[in-house]
Amino acid sequence: MMTVFAVVLVPTLFVVFWPPTITAKVPVKQPDIAEDFALADWPLSKAAAFGKIVYEKNCIGCHGTTGRGDGEAAPFLDPIPRNFQRGAFKFRTTPTGKLPMKNDLVRTINCGLPGSSMPSFKLMPEVEKKAVAEYVQHIATFRFGKRAVAKDMKRKKLSLEEVLASRIEDIKTAVWSKRIARLQPIPVPPSPKVTDKLLAAGKKRYLGECNRCHGDSGRGDGISSYTLRDWKDEAIVARDFTTGIFRAGSKPEDIFVRMRTGLNGTPMPSIPGSADEIWGLAHYILSLKDPNAYKSRVHAGCGIPGGEDDN
């Protein structure tokens, strides 16, 4: 009996009573990011709460339970599904580095991303598309929420529980108004007439700047192409323009916007220059399509010229 007391109970008592005496003396350092703050603590709007249900039914297998792009199917996909928590969105109408507008996300959900495994949810009811888009924005603002919560805890000397009990709604409103509510699409002035001169100017600029990644003939085989890396340090290839397949639409306006906004999280930069220079590039790139290329079966409104039900 004594041995049992010595071997089992004494160490147990140590374990139970020892730590509080130690931790009590260690000053609590407030971190810059509230690590214990979970996505489930980030307050949902009514639309986003509905969007979460839509998300769990349709998106979770690829984008993962908390939107980190780590769903069950993710390891089999190339490129891998987007990590919405990271906040780098490629296909936007907003300036470089910004989050996407709800309409940008609805477009991606509606049209899918041709050339990747992101499917089109054309048949999904409009209200569900909008709701799930808002839920994606909800996930994308979470990391700013984490920072704002940590700042609040520090400034007001509050615990996470106290912030969650009384301050979190205000924090969410502030983050949302800064990161989402103020988003504006970049202006797209009308295209000048497509002349030989415009195309020649586009070609000249292309061969000076774009070919090192996209290749002289646009096949995506430029000298830098095989060394390109995305934000996760994963290999990424520059688009092959001869296929005519673009992720986010192949109308000249779509290409204009892609160049102006850049593709966040990838080596594809935002392209400076006058609107006419950008239009020259856009029309030139579209002229590189191989006339024998496979015709994309993308539905109306998604801007694939020659597509099955193009409009």
Q: Tell me how far, at minimum, the Cβ of 154 lies from ligand HEC, in Å.
A: 32
Is position 62 an interface residue for ligand HEC (rule: CB under 6 A)?
yes
Q: Which residues does 59 contact at the CB level (< 8 Å), separation at least 6?
A: 71, 132
Q: Which position among 209, 221, 253, 310 is part of the footprint of ligand HEC (CB under 6 A)?
A: 209
Q: Which position among 99, 106, 198, 263 is part of the footprint of ligand HEC (CB under 6 A)?
A: 263
Q: Which position among 58, 103, 191, 217 is part of the footprint of ligand HEC (CB under 6 A)?
A: 58
Q: Which position among 99, 149, 271, 288 is part of the footprint of ligand HEC (CB under 6 A)?
A: 271
Q: Which is nearer to ligand HEC, 48 or 148 (CB)?
A: 48
Q: Which is nearer to ligand HEC, 69 or 163 (CB)?
A: 69
Segment lying near ligand HEC (by CB under 6 A), choices 140-148, 168-176, 187-195, 234-242 = 234-242
Burial class (CB in 10 A: 0-12, 13-18, 19+), 73: middle
Q: Binding to ligand HEC (CB under 6 A): which residues in 90-129?
A: 90-91, 100, 105, 108-109, 113, 116-119, 121
Say how many CA atoms lie within 13 Å of 156 toward its Cβ: 15
Is position 87 an interface residue for ligand HEC (rule: CB under 6 A)?
no
Both tokens of 251, joined, read: 């109308």
CA dist 153 and 270 (Å) reads 37
CA dist 100 and 131 (Å) reads 15
CA dist 106 and 93 (Å) reads 12
Say how many CA atoms lie within 13 Å of 163 toward its Cβ: 26
Q: Which position among 39, 150, 163, 285 is part of the footprint of ligand HEC (CB under 6 A)?
A: 285
CB 214 within 8 A of CB 202: no
Q: What's the longest Cα–Cα distance across the chain?
A: 99
Is position 171 an interface residue for ligand HEC (rule: CB under 6 A)?
no
Burial class (CB in 10 A: 0-12, 13-18, 19+), 212: middle
Task: Please say whether the dihedral angle defined by the alpha carbons of residues 11, 12, 18 and 19, taken in this order, is positive or negative.
Answer: positive
Per-residue burial over 103-130, b if 16 or more Cβ lie within 10 Å, else e, is ebbbbbbbbbbbeeebebbeebeeebbb
Is position 150 an interface residue for ligand HEC (rule: CB under 6 A)?
no
Q: Which is nearer to ligand HEC, 259 or 304 (CB)?
A: 259
Q: Which is nearer to ligand HEC, 171 or 259 (CB)?
A: 259
Q: Tell me how far, at minimum, the Cβ of 151 lies from ligand HEC, in Å.
A: 27
Q: Tell me how far, at minimum, the Cβ of 308 lies from ligand HEC, in Å.
A: 19
Q: Tell me how far, at minimum, the Cβ of 83 lies from ligand HEC, in Å.
A: 9
Q: Where along the sequence are the contacts to ligand HEC (CB under 6 A)?
A: 58-59, 61-63, 73, 77, 79, 81-82, 89-91, 100, 105, 108-109, 113, 116-119, 121, 132, 136, 209-210, 212-214, 224, 228, 236, 238-239, 246-248, 255, 258-259, 263, 266-268, 271, 281, 285
